[in-house]
Structure 1
C-alpha cells in the first residue's frame, strides 16, 4: 500500500488552467470546460492553479522597450503559475480564426524577451519553459472538422508553433469543440465529462 501511495505522489502533476475567454461572465462554455478539467485534476490529487484572464487588469504591449522589460506587476502571479507548472491547459473560444485579442495580449505580456527566453552563445535563444506540456481546448461555432480541413487550423497551429513551442513548451493534441452554440444539454454534458477525465489523467 505504501508503494502505491508513493507512486500516486510521483504521478501527481502541478497544473495551471488558463481560462482564456475574455468575458467575465460565468455563463460561457469555456469557463465550464476549464472548471471541469480543474475539478477532475484536483479529485485525482493533482496540484491545480487557475488563471482567469478576464479578471486580470494588464496593459497592452505597445513597443520594443516594454517587450524587453519585466512582466507587468499584475501578471507576476500568472507568470509564476506558468513557470512552476508541469502541465498547462489553455481554454479559449475561436474568434476570427484564432485567439481573442485579450487572450493573445496576455501571452504577449507574460512571454517577454527576458522572461520567456535565455540567450545561448552562437545560437538561437532557448525557451525558459522547456519540459512543460500544454493542452489547448478550443470552442467554435463551426464544425471542428471544417476548421481543420478547410481553414487548416492555421490560427491554432500558429499559436502552437510560433508561441508555445518557441518558449519551449510541448503542445499536445488540441481538443476542439465545434458547433458550440448549437450544442444541446446532452452534448455539453459529454464535453464536460471528457474534460473532467482529461483532468484526472493530468493531460
Structure 2
C-alpha cells in the first residue's frame, strides 16, 4: 500500500556532511523507489520565533514560514523525524518547531491540560531516527531513552500520532564507513516500506 510520507529533518545545522542528512536521503530514495509520495521539511531552513508564553501558543498567529509545514503534516500518513541527540534531548530548534506547529485548534481541540482533548492528528504513524555519540543500548537501557519516550508519548501521542517506532543509532562520532553504509541500507529499506 502506498503512503504519503513526510520527512522532517531536525538537525539544526544546514551544512552538509551530517549523518542525519544522509539517513534522510537514504530513506527518501527508498520511499521513492517504493512508489510512495514524499514531502520534506528542513527545520534549519525555516525562520520562526520561539514561543514565549501560553497566551502566544494558544492565541498568537502561526508564523507564515510554518503554514506549509502544517499543511504537509495534514497531508501525511506517515511522518519520519530525524535528529541528533543533543544534551540528552532533541535540538531546541526541533522542539521549537513542534511547539509552533502543534497548536490548539490544529493538533488538538479542547484544553491542553485535559488528557482527553480531541486528538487532531489521528490516523498518522511516525518513526523517530535519532543519532547519538553514546552506544544506543546505553541510551535505551541506562538512560531509558527518556527523550524519545517523551516525544513519543507527550508530543506525538498527545495529538494522536501512533504508532511511533524508533531507530536509535549510537557511536556516530567515530562510525566506520562500512557500518554507516549498513545504516544507510537499513534506512533505504524502511523508506521503501514507508515504516
Specify the SS of the correspondent of 2:158. coil
2:45 to 37, 42, 55: 55
| Structure showing the higher helix proportion among its residues | 1
Structure 1 moving runs of 4+ over 6 Å: none
Does residue 109 in structure 1 map to residue 100 in structure 2? Answer: yes
Q: Does 1:81 align with 2:72?
A: yes
1:89/1:135 contact within 8 Å kept: yes
TM-score (norm 1): 0.91
State the number of aligned residues. 192
Decide which moves more: 185-194 or 166-175. Answer: 166-175
- Aligned partner of residue 165 in structure 1, secondary structure: helix
RMSD: 1.4
CA distance in 2, matches of 1:155, 1:184: 26
> Counterpart of 1:186?
178
The answer for the alignment partner of 2:16 in structure 1 is 26
- Compute the TM-score of the two structures, normalised by the length of structure 2: 0.95
Q: Which has the larger radius of gyration?
A: 1
Q: Does 1:93 align with 2:89?
A: no
Give the corresponding residue for 1:118.
109
The answer to whether the 8 Å contact 2:152/2:164 transfers is no
* Per-residue Cα deviation, 1:58-117 (whole angstroms, up to 9, x for no partner): 110111222113421110101111111000000000011110011100000000122211
Please point out which of 122, 135, 146 is paired with 1:154: 146
